[in-house]
Structure formats: C-alpha cells, structure tokens
Amino acid sequence: MARATRRSKRKPSGGRYHYDRTKRLRELAGFAANTKLEKERKVRVTRIRGGAVKNSMLTASHVNVCDKKGKATKLEILNVVGNPANPHLVRRNIITKGAVVETKMGKVKITSRPGQEAALNGVLVA
C-alpha cells in the first residue's frame, strides 16, 4: 500500500472521515531518510515530481561547523547527544535538523536537513 500525504482517517472526536476518491500520484509520500552516524557517507538519489532529483543523506560521519566569526570547519561527529524532536532518535544515533552532536570542538546543533539536502551543517552550542 502506498504512503500518502493526506488528511487522517479519523476526526479529532474519534469519528471517521469518508473519502470520495482514492489516492493520487501527487499525494504520494516517501519514507524518512533517518540519517545515521556511520564511518562512510551514503546518499540516496530520488526522482521527484517534474523530473527533478532529490538527494537524501543516509549515513554521515562529518559535519560542517560554523563558529561565531563565520569560519567553517569540517569536523568528525563523535556521538549524537540530544534531539528535541524525538529523544528516542538519540540512542539510535539518528541525525535530524535540530539534533545536537558531539565533536572535538564541542557540541554542535545541526541546522541543515540531511534527509532533504544531503548536507550536514551546524553551529557551535555554548
């Protein structure tokens, strides 16, 4: 069964919505990239609507870190420390936007969307 970005089948009250049609191609949804912390960088290339291409990062080991002065350096990720979106992603070492990772320079907050851009950028957290 295809995944779709449609309204839920249930109302807030618990009742059901009754659909007047089936799923459409434009409503198809993809699976989450769930970028993991591993030694090798892997990217999945997906064709999207209009023939364009979207790159999703599946595994990563380094992050581009910007300091207060604007200087960017590439650092190795040691561990995933926190994730305000979902704390269960931390123990699985999954990196999303907003996740906090440990590097040699200190803690870094991820500012890019690795599942959408195939890049891992971040800023130092005090």
CATH number at residue 88: 3.10.290.70
Residue 10, in any domain of the structure: no
Residue 8, in any domain of the structure: no
Q: Is the pLDDT of residue 72 over 90?
A: yes
pLDDT tens track for 5-58: 888 889 999 999 998 888 898 888 888 999 999 999 999 999 988 999 999 999
Residue 118, in any domain of the structure: yes
Question: Does pTM surpass 0.85?
Answer: no
Residue 82 host element (H or E): strand 79-82
Q: How many domains does the chain have?
A: 1
Residue 26, in any domain of the structure: no
Give the chain's radius of gyration (CA, Å).
18
Residue 15, in any domain of the structure: no
Determine if residue 77 is left, alpha or beta; phi over 0 gives left, psi from -120 to 50 gives alpha, anything else beta. Answer: beta
- Say how far apart CA 23 and CA 108 lie, in whole Å: 41
Residue 110, in any domain of the structure: yes
Average pLDDT, the chain: 93
Residue 27, in any domain of the structure: no
What's the domain range around 63? 33-124
Cβ–Cβ under 8 Å, residues 122 and 110: yes
Over residues 89-103, mean pLDDT: 96
pLDDT at position 118 is 94
Phi first, then psi: give them for residue 79, nearest 5 degrees.
Answer: -165, 155
